[in-house]
Structure 1
Amino acid sequence: MATATTHSPKREAFGSRNVFILSAIGSAVGLGNIWRFPYVAYEGGGGAFLIPYLCALLTAGIPLLFFDYAIGHRFRGSTPLAFRRMHRAAEPLGWWQVLICVVIAVYYAVIIAWAAMYTWFSAQLSWGAGNEEAFFFEDFLRSADVAEVGVSAEFVPQVGLPLIAVWLIVIVIMALGVKRGIGRANTILMPLLTLMFAVLVVQALFLPGAMEGLNAFFTPNWEALADPGVWASAYGHIFFSLSVAFGIMVTYSSYLKRKTDLTGSGLVVAFANSGFEILAGIGVFAALGFMAQAQGAEVSGVASSGIGLAFIAFPTIVSQATGGSIIGVLFFGALVFAGVTSLISVIEVIVASLQDKMSWGRVRTTLIVTIPLGVISVALFSTTTALSVLDTADAFVNAFGIMAVAFVAVVVVAWLLHKLPVLEEHLNRRSSFRVGRTWKIAVGVLAPVVLGYLLVTELITKISEPYSGYPVWFVGVFGWGLVIALVVIGVLLSLLPWSRRSHAKDDPDYDEFLVVEEYEPDPETGAVDIPASSRKGARS
């Protein structure tokens, strides 16, 4: 028997479970849902791709989402603090994830700035019909070849000024805190994003040729299911899509109240994210069908993903469609909202970690984090070589940052620390959907196998030839060098002492206090009976 205590620290919290769900969906629904998923699905067999996609969602995406929720909520801390409370030696995993967020935040903001400018350009059709590609690369970005000029310092004002504005908005949201800033922003932006995208999809469906685009998107190519690469693509997309493995969901779940339905919330977030992706696929391919018909081409000839889809293909559609300006404003406005909700979740990982480590106040921590990040972001991505730096950093951080830390984290937690039973018990305590052996197999066995396969495949691809034809020195600095630096700096940060006021003190009973808090006390004695498995898990 143990007596209940109030030892646990006060921590910021979301106003309600619904606000948390909106915030988690806001983090998951980002640029990748809109410009990556439709093309990945199309290339992966169209309608047939839904089979590996759903398998990946159910066997990897949702189990890892629960994994992150359990760690954050059980150990009540930012990512480094949560891993430290699990085991002191696991703290570097948390800082590795924080540093991944640092890199993502620096370049993600510039894409939001591009989308904001293109929202304005759409209203005026600034690029001119037939000039969309040249406008983006030459007039807007003023792109230069890194092989010729190296890393440029030439400032591009039409990129730099909106980028500064994006950072100022983000700084205000972050400084207001979890409840008044992040929660309120998601409560406003997510319904607006959903409404805007729904209107965009309806408009796209009435474009001439829209049905041809939908046929291309949904017609199943069953032969694709025999290709291991298609399955790997589905799993790879799910890992990125749900914002698992780089600290966001660990951090967000630490702001939940104790009596929260974790798995029920996770299912809502996962299926809402997937629903938005399918909606995006319908809207994008309906528009691409119109573009193909207007150009007298096949849908396969105009289908693309990423930056090419957003800033070249869609402006072409806007130029050719009746009422195209409205489509452009809705599409790029949706990109802005989706980007902002994801960016604030990424930055919150960093802010929360420094708050826990140094015991600084919210505003002070926000300014210490966001001002340097904003300066680096503007310095690197408001230049003529910004696109090459962004492309390389994104490719390597995604492949050897997010996937690598996910692989190491599940192996360490499941096989070295043996914490899955503790996390399982925590998930099941007040959740509507119980997990068991299947969940532990998915996290401890299937996830490492799939992640290991994806990592090896990416490693072979990246080593075989210089990425995107960039100079070796450039890939070495912004690719391999960046990936190695994340690991080294993460270890060094874990060696720095925690603030004396921090609740990360090496109290061997701290985790048990957290466990005690979750059990209802006896109404007569006030005592709490802690299961032996929890006491063992807390002290191991």
Structure 2
Amino acid sequence: MVDAVTGHCGVVELSTETAPGESAYADETDRQRGRFSSRRVFIMAAVGSAVGLGNIWRFPYVAYENGGGAFILPYLVALLTAGLPFLFFDYAIGHRFRGSGPLSFRRLSRKSEFIGWWQVMVCIIIAIYYAAIIAWAAQYTIYSPGKSWGADPESYFFGDFLNATATPEFGFDFVGGLTVPLIIVWLVVLVILAFGVQRGIGATSVVFIPLLLVMFVVLVVQALTLPGAFDGLNALFQPNWSALGDVDVWLAAYSQIFFSLSIGFGIMITYASYVGRHTDMTGSGAVAGMANSSFEVLAGIGVFSALGFMAQAAGNGVDQVASDGIGLAFIGFPAIISQAPAGGLIGVLFFGSLVLAGLTSLVSIVEVVISALRDKLGMSRIKATGLIVVPIAVISTVLFGTTTGLPILDTLDYFVNRFGVLLVAIASIIAVVWLIRATPMLQSHLNRYGSIRLGLWWKALIGFITPVVLLVMLVIDFVTTVDEGYEGYPGWLIGIFGWGMVVGIVAVAAVLAMLPWSPKTSLEPPPPELDEPVESPVGARQETQQ
């Protein structure tokens, strides 16, 4: 991640030499913050952020529960009417204003800086628990060849592996099998982020994403050879056209798209700020969005092929074995691995894929925080990485390296995603589109070099359709949670790690927005004319094609 050039008080991440295809101009901000070496590397990094745990263990079940093959229609509609428009929205802010979330919003309007810090706080909370799941997957990758979970994967996971307490509580009984891999995960993240934008994030993505694809394709091929595989595929893709008349099915499609594209909480704003000025951002966004969706469909094929085998082996229907989330990954798949031919290989491929997908996503989440700290305080990459990763890693280990971590993880994931990510996404649209009225400027910026031209359709989607859908999702989740609670967890757990966390991150964001910026950081937006090519028209066209 570090491109090995010194700046401020330490290492900076961009060579003073102009990258091939870039204009001769590279401003001081880019030299200090770092930059991806090419559009291809940026797309790889964006795909690495988007393709995460949810693609593998959430999409297949969501599709199955919401119309099977018929779900593809609302899914594509959601991608085209909300997912890609919001992705372009994030790209435009980061690419035009050349900063982290807080700095980009500050350069857009002084009063909108708070939104950027809200996104940063959401990322901190997600990072704290996301690392724990990656650590579990890493352990299960090692366990797979020997099938260490034995004949009862469920008892093993909750008992021998997590040593989970019978009732939700908070304690400091550490479990070595949880703590050690969690520390290793954070050390890997620390090293990647310390190397900087190109040599860390970019280089890791260029290696991990193709490797992830190869591993998952091999897993899918292996799963398709299992007895009963096509029963699983039939269960997944058999269309239930009547489901298209159910509003909940359409909301499920929008929810899946929104949470799987890494949009709305600062990641794509940060990544877009590391991209050359003359890059085709709309074309890049379309590639990243389609790649993410293609991987989800591939995951559905692999997961339901395996579930079909499991159902046949147990003499049950697929509906009786289908699940998602932690239950699918750490209970359902170990049961499949124990019975399947070449089960050990399937286990290594499946859990190894979770590790790779999770790591690239975790790196992007933590980079949002590091980038914001560097911009705010004018820090070097190395210093900011240490000041962010070490405390987050300690908190993560204390919470999830113990016997009491699972209910806390479950509660944080539910509340921060639904009432943190959704709220800040809606707030960003209201601020940028309706209060600051910056949509025409952002549209003009993306159209300067974009291969997909944004027009009235984009303004309508980002200004009306997307916020309305997000607001409906938010209200439904809020009413349901208030009426029914969550998973029967006690009030103290919901109060501290649920609603308390949702309110707390907003309060902390407000405080951070009031702190002064480093004199080293310019709060003035880059002049629009800097986006114009400084070479001949032929040179400009060549840059656009990259």
Q: CA deviation at 1:9?
A: 5.4
- What's the CA shift for 1:491? 0.8
After superposition, the C-alpha distances for 1:385-407 in whole angstroms (9 at most, x for unaligned) are 11100000000001001111111
Structure 2 equivalent of residue 404 of structure 1: 423
Q: Distance in 2 between matches of 1:191 and 1:294?
A: 33
For residues 36 and 521 of structure 1, the distance between their equivalents in structure 2, rounded to whole angstroms, comes to 46
Residues 122-179 of structure 1: CA distance to partner in whole angstroms, max 9, x if unpaired?
A: 01110112x11000000100111344xx212110110100000000111000000001
Aligned partner of 1:315 among 324, 334, 347? 334
| Paired letter, 1:132 | P
1:536 matched to which residue of 2? none
Partner of 1:82 in structure 2? 104
Q: Structure 2, unaligned stretches of length 5 or more? A: 1-24, 537-546
Q: Structure 1 counterpart of 2:164, which letter?
A: S
Cα offset, 1:231, TM superposition? 0.6
The reply on whether 1:224 has 2:243 as its aligned counterpart is yes
Q: Deviations over 1:54-110 (max 9, x none)?
A: 000000000000000000000000000000000000001000000000001100000
Identify if the C-alpha distance between structure 1 residues 221 and 518 changes in structure 2 by more than 3 Å, giving closer, same or farther: same
Contact 2:41 / 2:202 at 8 angstroms: preserved in 1? Answer: yes
* Residues 8, 22 of structure 1: alpha-carbon distance in 2 compared, 3 angstrom cutoff: closer
Aligned to 1:533: none
Could you say if the C-alpha distance between residues 5 and 270 of structure 1 is closer, same or farther in structure 2, counting changes exceeding 3 Å? closer
Does 2:529 correspond to 1:516? yes
Matched residues in 2 for 1:201 and 1:267: separation?
A: 25
1:490-520, Cα deviation, whole Å (9 max, x unpaired) = 111000000111122xxxxx33x43111123
Shift of 1:38: 0.2
Distance between the aligned counterparts of 1:419 and 1:44, measured in 2? 37
Equivalents in 1 of 2:285, 2:51: separation in Å? 14
Change over 3 Å in CA distance of 1:8–1:137 after alignment to 2: closer
Q: Is the 8 A contact 2:30 2:274 kept in 1?
A: no
Determine what percentage of the aligned residue pairs are the same residue: 56
Q: Which residue of 2 aligns with 1:91?
A: 113
Q: Structure 2 vs 1, CA of residues 421 and 138 (structure 1 numbering), >3 Å: closer, same or farther?
A: same
Counterpart of 2:9 in structure 1 is none
Cα drift, residue 7 of structure 1: 6.9
Normalised to the residue count of structure 2, the TM-score between the two structures is 0.92
Structure 1 Cα separation of the partners of residues 459 and 505 of structure 2: 28
Candidates 16, 21, 41, aligned match of 2:38: 16
Matched, 1:139 2:152: no
**Which of the numbers 450, 454, 457 marks the counterpart of 2:473?**
454
CA contact (8 A) 1:8 1:514 kept: no
Q: Tell me, what secondary structure is at the counterpart of 1:392?
A: helix
Q: 1:293: how far off?
A: 0.1
Of 27, 49, 52, the residue aligned with 2:74 is: 52
Cα-to-partner distance string for 1:195-246 (whole Å, 9 max, x where unaligned): 0000000000000000000000000011111111111111011111000001
Deviation readout 1:429-459 (Å, 9 max, x if unpaired)? 0011101100111100001110110010000
Matched, 1:63 2:85: yes
Aligned counterpart, 1:255: 274
Deviation at 1:465, TM superposition (A): 2.3
- 1:485 is paired with a residue whose SS is helix
Counterpart CA distance in 2 for 1:6 and 1:143 is: 53
Map 1:497-508 → 2, pairs under 5 A: 497-504=516-523
| Partner amino acid, structure 2, of 1:127 | W
Give matches, 1:414-429, under 5 Å.
Answer: 414-429=433-448
Query: What are structure 1's unaligned runs of at least 5 residues?
Result: 505-509, 524-540
Q: After alignment, is 8-17 or 163-172 more displaced?
A: 8-17
Amino acid at match of 1:116: A
TM, length-normalised to structure 1? 0.93
Q: Quick check: 137-146 or 103-112, which moved more? A: 137-146
Cα 1:418–1:164 shift into 2, 3 Å: same
Q: Does 2:205 match 1:189? A: no
The equivalent of 1:175 in structure 2 is 194
- How far apart in 2 are the matches of 1:326 and 1:412? 50
Equivalent residue of 1:144, what SS?
coil
Picking from 495, 514, 517, the partner of 2:514 is: 495
Paired with 1:85 and 1:30, the residues of 2 have a C-alpha distance of 31
Residue 37 of structure 1, aligned match among 59, 81, 89: 59
1:344-383 matches, cutoff 5 A: 344-383=363-402
User: Which ranges of 4 or more aligned residues in structure 1 deviate by more than 2 Å?
Assistant: 4-11, 520-523
In 2: Cα distance, 1:7 partner to 1:277 partner: 39
The number of residues matched between the two structures is: 511
RMSD: 1.2
Matched-pair contact (CA < 8 Å) for 1:5–1:516: no
Q: How far apart, CA to CA, are the structure 2 residues paired with 1:8 and 1:467?
A: 45
Q: Partner letter of residue 339 of structure 2? A: Q
Amino acid at match of 1:520: P
